[in-house]
Amino acid sequence: MTNGRCAEEELRLHSTALETPSHVTSSFSSPSDPADGAPRTPKRVLVLHYSQSGQLGSVAEQIVAPLRADPSIQVHEEVLRPLDAFPFPWPFLRFFDAFPETAHLKPPPLAPLSLTGEEDFDLVILPYQVWFLAPSQPITAFLKHPVAARLLKGKPVVTVIACRNMWLLAHEKLKGMLDDVGARLIDNVVLTDPGPTLATFFTTPAWLIWGRKRGFWGMPDAGLSTGQIASTVRFGRALRDALHNDLERGTRPLLAGLGAVQANARLLISEKAGTRSFYLWGKLIMAAGGPGAWLRKPLLLLYVLFLLALIVTVVPVSLSLQALLRPFLRGWLTKMTAQFECPSGSATDRSHLYDD
């Protein structure tokens, strides 16, 4: 969907059936077809996710709760499990040892799925984490699994991201993998750590490596707030109503007007530098052996030093330069923001219909 189309769809929301939620108009709350009284075929929703800390699992549960509670909707939840489970918290070197394969989209295999690929779903919800500026390895492993091509072809997909704050290029990679299996991305929800960008460079690794979620040295807690997680129930309510109206069969986003995503295009330059770094160093480290190989360890330690230098130099310099050049970059930033906020957008004009 182009930037203009994305904006146009948001402006036209008030003329669509999306405006009237089923909890306001009771005619959509019955599993029977109002036209002839015949029972409606239950809508089938697939939820695929992998959560290490449990945070993404909590987000998924909030979104899915209104769907589970509806007798006219059947939910199948598939929790992805790598054959060799990733630890949480991570040992220090094993954490960084995951980045080469993550950056190159070469994950280890998953444990056997309960799905065969012959199942038929009306909607797919795909929550995922961002690892090293790419989709997490279990999500990548699923999208490259033979079952994914059979299961997702032609199906509408809603992605849900919960991450630190850099997700733009990871989502571009995920969209490419969805295209490869013929899936239709119709919505994207993004939840990011509310802490300052530079602070999260330290609080997030402290949580992942040492299990320390509480803030330190005056910095905020790591991860999403409880309020952010709880508020995602509005997306589940909107999806429920969209399913009642068969809107998942169309091409318009189902979650527009709900503040689904706010893109920070100012981080794009830093993301590109980081992604390039992960790719090149990852290629070098993989040449030294597979995950866990001893020859990788000195290279990983060297890369950690390089990464710290990158964080304390490139990121602040990039943000400072963009602040100085903002009058000249305004058009580019506006264009990039609109691009990455598609298809769901940042508008909140429908939020009052679904908030508590």
- The pLDDT tens digits for 51-60 are 999 999 999 9
Ranges 8-12, 146-150, 190-194, 325-329: which has the least confidence: 8-12
pLDDT exceeds 50 at position 1: no
The HSE-up count of residue 226 (CA atoms within 13 Å, CB side) is 1
pTM above 0.95, yes or no: no
- The pLDDT tens digits for 255-314 are 999 999 999 998 888 899 889 999 999 999 999 999 999 999 999 999 999 888 877 787
Ranges 4-8, 26-30, 59-63, 324-328: which has the least confidence: 26-30
Q: Domain spanning 3-353: which CATH class is it, in words? A: alpha beta
**What b/e readout covers 151-187, taking b as 16+ CB neighbours within 10 angstroms?**
bbeebbbbbbbbbbbbbbbbbebbeebbeebebebbb
Which pLDDT score is estimated for 329?
79
Joined together, the tokens standing for residue 72 give 């006219």
**25 vs 198 pLDDT, higher one:** 198
pLDDT exceeding 70 applies to what percent of the chain?
Answer: 89
Secondary structure of 199-251 in HEC code, one letter for each residue: HHHHHHHHHHHHCCCCCCCCCCCCCCCHHHHHHCHHHHHHHHHHHHCCHHHCC
Q: Are 17 and 245 a contacting pair, CB within 8 Å?
A: yes
